[in-house]
Chains A and B, each alone.
Chain A
Amino acid sequence: MKTRGTVAAAVASAGILLAGWQAGTQAGGTSIITATGTTAEGSGGASGTNGSAPHSATTKGTTSGTTAAGTFTGAAVQTRFGSVQVQITVAGGTITDVTALHLTDDDRKSIQISNRAAPVLRSEVLAAQSADVQTVSGATVTSGAYLTSLQAAIDAANL
């Protein structure tokens, strides 16, 4: 009788794990799509790098030059909630737009936080014209990475 209980428990557990795994492979896909969707907001960087995951952690401006104009992509900063990478659009030496190419999206909570923090940070940066702005409370990690990537983009633009 003990074997009956053990076998039944094993079968039930395996079934539950399988169902969880099945749900996970589907949910995993949607969560990435959601994340990409949120980063696509903003008008500036309509480049092809938008959808693809930014692997290179090096700073590179998409248009190089001494005159500050064009779009500049910051380094991808790794955090425990996912990587963060921002792109700035510069015209006439001022930052006209900040686009988040990728934000912390390891889990739903991070996506929630990112969605809340990104617009706040964007408006602050556009007002201050630098990375020297207040972090968003409750989104410390995301803010820190955002501003680090932003600073790299500003450096690349030689502002």
Chain B
Amino acid sequence: MTIQLPQAQAGPATRGPAARPGRDGNGFAVQHRRRLLRADLLTVVAWASVAAAVALWLSDGGLAAAATPAGAVTAAGIVAGLVGMDLVLLMLLLAARIPLVDRTVGHDRALGFHRKLGKPSLYLLLAHGLLIAVGYGMAAGLDPVSEAIALWSLVPDMWLAYISMVLFVAVVVTSLVAVRRRFPYEFWYAVHLLTYAAVGTAIPHQFSVGGLFAEGTWQRWYWAALCLATGAALLYFRVVQPIAATNRHRLSVVRVEQAAPGVVNIVMKGRALDRLAGTGGRFLIWRFLAQGMWWHPHPFSLSAEPVVLAADGTGTLRITVRNLGSGSGGLVRLRTGTRVAVAGPYGLFGTAARTRDKVVLMGAGIGITPLRALLESTPFAPGQATVLLRGHSDRELYLSHEILELCRLRGARLFHLTGPRDKGQSGWLPDDAVHSGYSLTSYVPDAADADIYICGPSAWAGNVIADATAAGVPATQIHHERFDW
């Protein structure tokens, strides 16, 4: 069943920020070029840090020491350790929610790189331990096992390094298993806290055992600065900023109202909410400070622009939540007045990712709700936006009345795509639309010249991406962020 709303007759965009200076014309193209430049710079920094880790060893006359077989094995071990630790630091930085990284590659791509580095860094650290034991053993005339025991018992801080190795193996293996088996978020989180112990126990031996970082060397300063900067970034962006944001906004629950069966709107009041304006689509991490709930972080987007009632930013905001899993279920019973801790907004699923003046918003199920807020705030001229909502029936097109109203007001085309899924093919459209031969370009003929925001279940989103790619939409214009992690 497909409903098309004729293009709205509301003439000038009276409330839309379409006329915001710098955003009209080719504003988004400029924004896109800048983002690509930042992405390239981050790539350079990441690779340069790996090269610098090797250069530290080279600059200490490492090649000269690698002349003998034992020296060569030891040298390979040292380089593996340096590069491995550098990758671990990069992983920590990618997970630190640094705004520069977030605005450039987005939260889920940053975490994608983080995951990709997991196995290589573990292999390098294992190789480091193994090669050093063999290399030292060759020089001292011992077998690697005896050498490893000698290192453990004789050399200060080495026992910590052994513990670190065990922790690293535990963290990476359980992460891989946890991802595959879909362990609860809390388990995965607890495992990741071990990472700090793993890194913490690895650091002492780097400075006390390796001659490379002996006191008075510039290499020691560089390495210490690198470790400290990473720690400071984690502390600031993951701990200090969330506490500051919670303190700034002082959010508390005003009411929980049913939006649809199994779906609730949670309305909160707070201060300085003007600072959260225009963040539609991006997600925030919410903690409801009630018994049994405070430790459970929920990543949700706003489902509407904050309503600011006073000059100091006092007002209300709203999220829309479906009963997903054990954590979200309890949200239905939230009491009025419950304090709320908040962090964010995070992610690139918003106006900051725009590359074109035209925009297409495609949502399915509960994935519709972030698009509702994005539709309200992202700039476009009347006629340049299309909204496609997908659900089994009209009941699953959450907030569809509000979206209809916004489309009228701002001049966007709206399609309701309801009905059962096509069984045979991997389509994102309802059965009847597929049989009619429809695809993305049937609804959005100029899709190739638009930014496409996709929010919904991963399988559905994957099908949309495939269709959009087939329609000639470049990958840089396809915006999709996982929201089910």
Check if A and B associate: yes
A65-88 vs B, CB cutoff 8 Å, 1 = contact: the mask equals 000000000000011110000000
* Contact residue among B36, B64, B209 (Cβ-Cβ distance under 8 Å from A1): B36
B210: A residues at CB distance < 8 A: 107, 109
Chain A residues whose C-beta falls within 8 Å of the C-beta of B209 in the assembled complex: 109
Nearest-Cβ distance from residue B206 to partner chain A, whole angstroms? 12
A-B contact count (CB 8 A): 109
Interface membership of A25, Cβ < 8 A? yes
8 Å CB interface, A1-29 against B: 1, 4-6, 8-10, 12-14, 16-17, 19-21, 23-25, 27-29
The complex places the Cα of A141 from the Cα of B60 at a distance, in Å, of 22
> Which residues of chain B come closer than 8 Å to A17, judged between CB atoms?
51, 54-55, 58
What residue of chain A has the Cβ atom nearest to residue B42's Cβ?
A: A5
Question: A124 — which chain B residues lie within 8 A by C-beta?
Answer: none
Contact flag A78-B40 (CB < 8 Å), given A19-B55, A20-B58, A107-B214: no
Chain A interface size, as a band, is: 35 or more
Contact B136 A108, beta carbon cutoff 8 Å: no
Alpha-carbon distance A19/B59, docked complex (angstroms) = 8
Question: Per a CB cutoff under 8 Å, which of B40, B56, B64, B70 touches A20?
Answer: B56
Q: Is the CB of A8 within 8 A of B54?
A: no
Q: A interface, by DSSP: helix, strand, loop or mixed?
A: helix
Judged by a CB distance under 8 angstroms, whether B61 is at the interface is yes
Knowing A12-B48, A27-B59, A31-B61 are in contact, say whether A20-B54 is a contact too (CB < 8 A).
yes
A10–B64 Cα distance when bound, in Å, is 25
Q: Are B63 and A108 neighbours in the complex by a CB distance under 8 Å?
A: no
Give, as a whole number of angstroms, the nearest-CB distance from A119 to chain B: 19
- Asked if residues A24 and B60 are in contact (CB atoms below 8 Å), the reply is yes
From the candidates B43, B47, B60, name the one contacting A27 in the complex (CB within 8 A): B60
In the assembled complex, the Cα of A60 lies from the Cα of B207 at a distance in Å of 39
Q: B52 at interface (Cβ–Cβ under 8 A)?
A: yes
- Complex alpha-carbon distance, A63 and B54, angstroms: 48
Is A149 engaged at the interface, CB distance under 8 Å to the other chain? no
- Distance of B438 from chain A, by nearest CB (Å): 33
Beyond contacts A24-B59, A109-B209: 13 other A-B pairs, Cβ-Cβ < 8 A, are A1-B36, A4-B40, A5-B39, A9-B44, A9-B47, A12-B47, A20-B52, A20-B54, A24-B58, A25-B64, A80-B74, A107-B212, A141-B154
12 contacts between A and B (CB under 8 A): A8-B43, A10-B47, A12-B48, A12-B51, A20-B58, A24-B62, A25-B63, A78-B140, A79-B139, A80-B70, A107-B211, A110-B211
